[in-house]
Amino acid sequence: MSNEYDNTELLTSFAKVGQVVPEFTMESFDPTEGGFCEVDLGELRKQGKSVILFFYPADFTFVCPTELADLATKHAELIELGAEVISVSTDTKFTHLAWKNDERLLADVKFKMASDSTGEVSRYFDVWDDATGLALRGTFVINPDGLLVSSEVNFYNVGRNADELVRKVEANSYLKDHPEEACPAKWTPGEKTLTPSEKLVGNVYEALND
């Protein structure tokens, strides 16, 4: 992360679901443009976008390219939902460029690949592993208001499923406009939601099946 930015808030707190994430920047490689750029959460917030931060341990590893390739298959859907997808590791932007060019599994990756070489962002999202200096497999969804609405962390040896990520973004997008409702397990757009109230207590089955 560039030293010209004040990262005090990142260094003195941890991300919590339901709370606003502070604005920060990260140096990145942009596969679409083929060059380097800067990811700016503040600017994305001004644009009204959701942000998906997809942390993974390292470039030139084994499970990681399968995850990014899977995420790439859902990138267009996530863009349609108003989300900016950003993969993040502790590698430099130069290593990202080399990996993208070498690894055939990454051929369809078009989302920005951010560098957290100092580990500041990884520590803020509590995925930093002191023993290795790497980030665990963490997925975080930040809504357009800057609120952290979803958090998932896996250990090194378990890859993630981008289908479920899309479902979470769809649900949180719906709930932003319908805050009085709640989405049940496996909810997808068009299915019934729940409206919590005293009448719903003990009657969830009836509400979902009437």
90/117 Cα distance (integer angstroms):
4
Backbone angles phi, psi at 138, to 5 degrees: -115, 135
Sign, CA torsion 64/66/67/73: positive
Backbone angles phi, psi at 142, to 5 degrees: -115, 125
Among this protein's residues, is 37 annotated catalytic? Answer: no
Tokens 């959460």 correspond to 41
Catalytic residue among 41, 64, 113, 171: 64
Q: How far is CA 116 from the centre of its chain?
A: 14
143/25 Cα distance (integer angstroms):
17
Residue 130, both tokens: 């002191």
12/24 Cα distance (integer angstroms):
14
- Residues with Cβ within 8 Å of 92's Cβ and at least 6 positions away in sequence, in order, are 115, 117
- Do residues 115 and 89 lie in contact, with contact meaning Cβ atoms separated by under 8 Å? yes
Task: Enumerate the active-site residues.
Answer: 64
